[in-house]
Amino acid sequence: MGTARRPLCDLDHLRAMRQTDPWRVGEAILHEMEDWLCQLACERGLQGGRRGFGTYLEYLKGQHALPGHLESLLQQAKELRDKVSHKAGLAVTPEKVDDLFRLIDDLYRCSATKAQELMTAQPTCIAEDAVLADACALMLQHDYSQLPVLHDDQEITGLLTEKDILRFQAHSAGPWDQVMVGEVLPPEAAQQLVTVVPQTTVDCVRSHLVKPEIPAVLVTPDGTRYHLPLGIITRADLLRLV
């Protein structure tokens, strides 16, 4: 049996390093990825001491241990690593750092064990007294399936979902620019709202999202509805996990 996998480096630490040492942060990200791959490969039975990024990746691909989206992500990282490798080490220019941050952010979420690691941070919210047409425009523009709804810019009163809007469409012919978001929320919206603290385990989040009436889980500082959400977790986010 493999040992517990070390979590990825705190992304906030890497972002801070980007400001103070932009020429070294890319190398730090690549080393983080390689260490993570090493531990995953050892969990899956790879023996024989320290290897390289490519060796770990090929071994895991051979073991069918990586979901397709994660395999693609890590292949991109390997190709980028190959481009910046030279005899003296890894020379990652600041221009390549954006690509690396995008990759490690995805990897961080794929290996999440806590809600704060899996969530999409700073979700877009809508006021309950906003017009429904504005909510629909936001959802279409950003491909959102739901929006947290706020009362007085603070208390979360529910999640406005695509289903809620379709239900309204089916029963009303009124102009959407005269209907408030709060009018479209179903009576059970408050009871179906789930909020958790950032340290909540992914297993706990999953136990909520297997319920068909729960469209998403919101992460708040104290796990209540009385603070702005720090993040949102949907079923699609759970599909990212290794």
pLDDT in tens, 152-170: 988 999 999 999 999 998 8
Instruction: Tabulate helix, strand, coil % of the chain (nearest 5).
Output: 50, 15, 35
Domains and CATH numbers, the chain: 11-111 (no CATH), 120-238 (3.10.580.10)
What is the model's pLDDT at position 1? 34
Burial grade of 196 (CB within 10 A; 0-12, 13-18, 19 or more): buried
Read off the pLDDT band of 4 (50, 70, 90).
Answer: very low
Count the neighbouring beta carbons within 10 Å of the beta carbon of residue 231.
20
On whether the CB atoms of residues 200 and 219 are closer than 8 A, the answer is yes
Burial of 33 (0-12, 13-18, 19+ CB in 10 A): buried
Between CA 44 and CA 200 the distance in angstroms is 27
Between CA 25 and CA 80, with CA 104 as vertex, the angle to 5 degrees is 70
Three-state SS for 164?
helix
Mean pLDDT (whole number) for 115-131? 94
The percent of residues above 90 in pLDDT, for the chain, comes to 52
170-193 residue pLDDT tens = 888 667 788 999 999 999 999 999
Residue 178 has φ and ψ, to the nearest 5°, of -120, 5
Six token digits for residue 159: 């999640």
Lookup: tokens for 133: 């047409």
User: What mean pLDDT comes out for the span 108-131?
Assistant: 90
Q: Is the pLDDT of residue 202 over 90?
A: yes
Backbone angles phi and psi of 203, in degrees to 5: -60, -40
* pLDDT of res. 110: 78
* 209 touches 235 (CB < 8 A): yes
For residues 2 and 107, the model is more confident at 107
φ, ψ dihedrals at 197, nearest 5°: -85, 160
Q: What is the pLDDT of residue 60?
A: 93
Q: Residue 199, SS3?
A: coil
Q: Looking at residues 104-124, what average pLDDT do you find? A: 87
Q: Is pLDDT of 226 > 60?
A: yes
Tens of pLDDT along 35-71? 888 988 998 999 887 899 999 999 999 999 887 778 8
Is 70 exceeded by the pLDDT of residue 117? yes
- Quick: pLDDT tens for 61-109: 999 988 777 888 889 889 988 887 765 566 677 778 888 888 888 888 8
pLDDT exceeds cutoff 60 at 6? no
2, pLDDT greater than 50:
no
Average pLDDT over residues 23-33: 86
